[in-house]
Amino acid sequence: MNWRRTVVLVWLVIFTQATVGQNLSKPFWGIHDWNGARYGNIARNYLKYGLLTTRLAQIENGDINTHYPPLLPLLLAVSYKLFGVSEWATRLVPFLATTGSIIIIWRITRLEFGEMPGIFSALFALATVVIRYFGKMPVHEPVALVFALLAFWSIQLGKKRLTWLAVLLCLLTNWLGVYLVIGLTVLLGKRAWP
């Protein structure tokens, strides 16, 4: 990586974190913040009871959440283990995933169309209300998005193992992974899959 790409990368990370990272530690309240409380509770229960006792089941207050795969609460549990249980630690996982998504959008577009279109595509993605609002919300979509984009980027780079890993991580995060497999199969045909 040359110095210009490094400067662009650092600038994109700083700009993304300044744009999306506001109010990471605000208390959960409002119409969508119940997601953070719900998945944060599951993550706390992973730490409280242990992964073997829960058998990776998403334990809530006496109930088991079976609506989504377990990777998001597991990542939240890792964040809690490293930084303690807080709203900031809960929002950190999707916030970092959104930062990764913006970087991968830049990389994918840069490889296909050049440096300036890559920068503009990353900035346009960052300018959308959806990214700015949901980019730090502890829900499955920001985390699944970074894995889906990683799958497309790894195909672009010709790295099949990384593609499989990204698809698996997307499947473990959200049901979006099913559509990702279908889309990649249609897009690439047999040449991308062994």
pLDDT tens-place string over residues 2-57? 888 899 999 999 999 999 998 899 998 888 888 899 999 999 999 999 998 988 88
Q: What mean pLDDT do residues 64-89 have?
A: 93
pLDDT tens-place string over residues 57-73? 899 877 887 788 999 99
- Closest by CA to 107, choosing from 72, 154, 169, is 154
Report the pLDDT value the prediction gives residue 176, as an integer from 0 to 100.
83
- Give percent helix, percent strand, percent coil of the chain, each to the nearest 5: 75, 0, 25
Q: What mean pLDDT do residues 78-88 have?
A: 97
Structure-block tokens of residue 135? 């980019």
Q: Which residues of 7-41 are buried (b: 16+ CB within 10 A; e: fewer)?
A: ebeeebeeebbebbbeebeeebeeeebebbebbbb
| Location of structure tokens 């593609």 | 163
pLDDT tens-place string over residues 144-193? 999 999 999 998 898 989 988 999 999 999 988 888 888 877 777 655 45
Q: What mean pLDDT do residues 113-132 have?
A: 94
Residue 189 DSSP class: G
Report the pLDDT value the prediction gives residue 9, as an integer from 0 to 100.
92
Report the pLDDT value the prediction gives residue 32, as an integer from 0 to 100.
82
Report the pLDDT value the prediction gives residue 183, as an integer from 0 to 100.
80
